Structure 1
Amino acid sequence: MSSGFIKLAFNMKSLSEIETTVKRATKAIGYSWGVAEETAKCVRLLESFGLPGIKHINKYFSERKENSFQNLNLILEKNQPSAKSYCPIILGVSFLDQSKSLESFKKIELNNVAYPSIFLAFVSRASEIIGKKIHLNLDKKEIILNLNLNIYSNIANNEFPTVANHLEISFLENIDNFSEEEWKNMYKLSEDTFVEESESLKQGGAGAGLTDND
């Protein structure tokens, strides 16, 4: 049992290997080195969270060879593409670059986004930049991005869609998840560890560890 586990562990690709390979593949498919670097970081992030990064970027690149996708460089409150789906990479880079200004929108709506798993990795990184949790409603399924530390979702990996028909994004205000009364009770308990420093302790602490060799 243990030897089988060790063998499985060594068969796994490292996150750095994933990032390097995706960066090169993204450049080879036609994106700039800068965009390729950002995409690679996002695929690495998805894999570290156990989400379909390599699987979906592979599928997207395969489709991109035969179909064209629409780029969205300036994100508005409501965004409706033409017949083509939005490219998740350019959309993600745009969101990352504009994240500070996008905070002012109460809600951002996007329709027809290809491979939203790739896009949400960019949004997760934006959550860390602005210091706020971000809530996504993806075809009525909930996703919360928590400062790029974790992703909460009620979507199983094998159900993660390749197209988001309708996607809503909102920024969550930073508020405590407890009442003021609960905080006061906790603080009162913590006061039991406070010890007033006596005069003898102050004197003993001054110059402690020093010796006079004269």
Structure 2
Amino acid sequence: MKSLSEIETTAKRASRAAGYSWGLAEEVGKSIRLSELFGFPAIKHLNQYYQNKKKENFEEIKLINNINKSDGSSFCPIMLGVNFIDQVKNIETLKKCSVENVAYPLLLLSFLSRASEIIGKKLLISFDDCKFLLNFNLSISSNIWNKEMPKLAKKIEISFLNNEDNFSDQDWKSLYKLAEDTFVEETDSLKEGAAGAGLTDND
């Protein structure tokens, strides 16, 4: 089994050989490492993408708006991902955005996951029948686990989710009341032994 370090280094070097700068290649290496860590076949899709990149002229998106359409060719998932990270704080104000015709969308996921950590919000990604919940770059939940990922997404929708508790106030109050049984009642002896107690001011 290949180590994460080997995966990152090989993906970085392959990206440089595919024509990206060393800076962009390093970003690709980090993202491929992350995707493989989360259990997605990123090496497979990156290899396929670079093989097709030799034959196809993928479009590079620069400024990301609420609706993004290509001029005919598919968007490069790497440039889309890098620019999304760079612009995420501005994109966040849109609450939602869409990108049509994205090649190898799996390669985009880990870039979006890193963006989720930057802004401290979960992202919901959907295209075709695929849905992904990105959790602050800690995990990615999916409804297509162990299924083949499409090589082209006709339309990707990205939604910024508000941070909310997954439980009701009543559930919290009930659990907190139970937790109160562990609280220690403050006594005179505890007060005397508390931090700073009994210290003499020598000034």
Q: Taking structure 1 as the reference length, what is the TM-score of the superposition?
A: 0.88
| Deviations, residues 38-68 of structure 1 (Å, cap 9, x unaligned) | 1111100111111011000000000001111
For residues 194 and 167 of structure 2, the distance between their equivalents in structure 1, rounded to whole angstroms, comes to 39
The equivalent of 2:201 in structure 1 is none
1:178 equivalent to 2:158? Answer no
The equivalent of 2:10 in structure 1 is 21
The equivalent of 1:115 in structure 2 is 104
The equivalent of 2:130 in structure 1 is 141
Unaligned runs of 5+ in 1: 1-11, 209-214
For residues 131 and 176 of structure 1, the distance between their equivalents in structure 2, rounded to whole angstroms, comes to 14
For residues 198 and 107 of structure 1, the distance between their equivalents in structure 2, rounded to whole angstroms, comes to 54
Query: Amino acid of the residue matched to residue 85 of structure 2?
Result: L
1:49 equivalent to 2:38? Answer yes
Structure 1's consecutive aligned runs of 4 or more residues displaced over 3 angstroms after TM superposition are 201-208
For residues 29 and 41 of structure 1, the distance between their equivalents in structure 2, rounded to whole angstroms, comes to 16
Matching of residues 146-185 of structure 1 within 5 Å: 146-185=135-174
Unaligned runs of 5+ in 2: 198-203
SS of the aligned residue for 1:22 comes to: helix
Conserved 8 A contact 1:52-1:157 = no
* CA gap 1:22/1:182 in 2 versus in 1, 3 angstroms: same
Query: Amino acid of the residue matched to residue 70 of structure 1?
Result: E
Q: Percent identity?
A: 57
The equivalent of 1:125 in structure 2 is 114
SS of the aligned residue for 2:31 comes to: helix
Deviates more, 1:191-200 or 1:31-40: 191-200
The equivalent of 1:103 in structure 2 is 92
The equivalent of 1:187 in structure 2 is 176
The equivalent of 1:9 in structure 2 is none
* Alpha-carbon distance, 1:204 to partner: 5.0
For residues 43 and 195 of structure 2, the distance between their equivalents in structure 1, rounded to whole angstroms, comes to 60
The number of residue pairs the alignment matches comes to 197
* CA gap 1:202/1:62 in 2 versus in 1, 3 angstroms: same
* CA gap 1:15/1:78 in 2 versus in 1, 3 angstroms: same
For residues 160 and 123 of structure 1, the distance between their equivalents in structure 2, rounded to whole angstroms, comes to 17
Matching of residues 30-45 of structure 1 within 5 Å: 30-45=19-34
